[in-house]
């Protein structure tokens, strides 16, 4: 989607604020003994309170407002009834539909006392995505963003998952362009002023995954933890305008 008016941008900023308020509240409730299904129930309650709809429920055969991925489940985790425990890494991916506009963003929370290695993993994941945001400006290319993801992860001794990508967003949850987690500067689609995109990647030790029997959970083949961060925002001439918050 390309933002075409100040009114449209204002509406998208409102969508991002509401979505951020909800995701922030979900993260605040990630504690020892709480289950992903309890976080999922809270997400649905908050959507009703804000009079918005969960965007993920528009995905075929997906019936949840959130994806909640714990430890070696890297992304697309279906909420379950297993309580969070000390040291878990919890990724909550979430979005809403507000006045016909879709949001999608993700953050990683540590439960209680997180190990130094896991703190490094979280730092690497956040920095990779924020470095990607720093080059998401008009006339750059998707490859400029992609290159920042993997090069940042490598600096910390990690890599990014090759099978998943950031994406355009707007009046549907996914659209062009695809923004891969690896690539060369100056390659891919040229970024346009006003383009609304989701900048995301998953950072872990090895780029090797399998899909669990439920058909959704993306699992590390080596049982390794992963972090995931994602911002929704607008491409502009001199900076990427984030519409969703950090936490």
At 207-219, the pLDDT tens digits run 999 999 999 999 9
Task: Spell out the domains of the chain, with CATH numbers in brackets.
Answer: 6-242 (3.90.230.10)
DSSP labels for 86-127?
A: TT-EEEEEE-EEETTEE--EEEEEE-SS--HHHHHHHHHHHH
pLDDT at position 157? 98
Sign of CA dihedral 89, 73, 75, 150: positive
**242: enclosing H helix or E strand:** strand 240-242
Q: What is the average pLDDT across 142-149?
A: 98
156 vs 148: CA distance, rounded Å = 13
Indicate the average pLDDT of the chain.
Answer: 98
Contact 124, 45 (CB under 8 A): no
CB atoms within 10 A of CB 239: 14
Contact 45, 93 (CB under 8 A): no
Q: What is the average pLDDT across 187-196?
A: 98
pLDDT at position 2? 98
Contact 148, 126 (CB under 8 A): no
pLDDT at position 44? 98
Contact 80, 37 (CB under 8 A): yes
At 153-186, the pLDDT tens digits run 999 999 999 999 999 999 999 999 999 999 999 9
Q: If DSSP codes are grouped into helix, strand and coil, which group holds residue 2? A: strand
């Amino acid at each position: 989607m390309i933002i075409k008016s100040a009114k449209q941008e204002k509406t998208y900023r409102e969508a991002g604020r509401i979505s951020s308020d909800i995701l922030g509240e979900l993260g605040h409730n990630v504690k020892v003994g709480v289950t992903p299904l309890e976080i999922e129930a809270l997400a649905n309650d908050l959507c009703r309170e804000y009079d918005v709809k969960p965007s993920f429920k528009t995905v075929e055969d997906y019936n949840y407002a959130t994806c909640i991925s714990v430890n070696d489940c890297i992304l697309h985790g279906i909420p379950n009834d297993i309580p969070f425990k000390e040291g878990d890494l919890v990724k909550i991916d979430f979005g809403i539909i507000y006045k016909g506009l879709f949001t999608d963003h993700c953050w990683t929370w540590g439960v209680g006392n997180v190990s130094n290695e896991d703190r490094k993993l979280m730092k690497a994941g956040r920095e990779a995505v924020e470095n990607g945001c720093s080059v998401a400006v008009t006339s750059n290319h998707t490859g400029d963003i992609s290159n920042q993801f993997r090069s940042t992860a490598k600096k910390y001794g990690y890599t990014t998952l090759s099978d998943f990508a950031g994406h355009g967003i707007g009046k549907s949850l996914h659209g062009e362009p695809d923004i891969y987690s690896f690539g060369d500067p100056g390659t891919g689609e040229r970024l346009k002023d006003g383009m609304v995109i989701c900048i995301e990647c998953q950072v872990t030790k090895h780029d090797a995954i399998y899909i669990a029997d439920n058909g959704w959970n993306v699992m590390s083949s080596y049982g390794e933890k992963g972090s995931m961060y994602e911002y929704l925002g607008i491409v502009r001439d001199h900076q990427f305008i984030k519409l969703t918050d950090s936490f």
